[in-house]
Amino acid sequence: MPKSGHLFVAFLLLGSIVALTGLRQFFIEPLENGAINALWFVVQILPLLLTLPGLIRARLRSTFVLCLSSLLYFIHGVLAAFDPVLRAFGALEICLALSLCALTALMVRSMREQGASLE
C-alpha cells in the first residue's frame, strides 16, 4: 500500500493533466462541432480514466500503466511546446507528465518492495 500522500499527489497531478487538456481542448483550440469536441476530449483523457479505479484501490498494475500512459502526455507536451501559441501549455504539460511518471514509478517501486500482488 503506497503512502496516502503519494496517492493524493498522484490524484492531484492526474486531475491537473485532465484540466489542462480540457482547457486546451475547449478554450484554446476547440473544434467546430461541440459534440465532436467533447468526444475528442474523452478520447484524449481515456488512458488516465482507465487507470483511475485501480489507482483508487492502489493496485500495482494500474499504477504501472498510469506511469506508462503519462509518457503519452509528455510526448504531446513536447509537440505542443514547439508551437509558439501553445508553448506555455506544452511546458506545463511536460512538467505535469514527468512528475506523474516519476511519482507513479516511485509508488510502483514501494508497492513491489511491500510485496503487492499484480491485481
C-alpha cell, 73: 502526455
Question: Residue 5 has which C-alpha cell?
Answer: 500522500
pLDDT at 116: 59
Residue whose cell numbers read 484540466: 19
C-alpha grid cell, residue 10: 498522484
Give the start-to-end residue ranges of the domains of the chain: 4-113
pLDDT number for residue 118: 54
Backbone angles phi, psi at 30, to 5 degrees: -75, 150
Give, to the nearest 10 degrees, the angle between helix 60-81 and helix 4-23: 40
- Using the predicted structure, report yes or no on whether residue 23 has a pLDDT greater than 60: yes
SS3 breakdown of the chain: % helix, strand, coil, rounded to 5? 80, 0, 20
Per-residue pLDDT tens over the stretch 39-91: 999 999 999 999 999 999 989 999 999 999 999 999 999 999 999 999 999 99
Q: What is the pTM of this model?
A: 0.90
Cα distance from N-terminal residue to C-terminal residue, the chain: 13
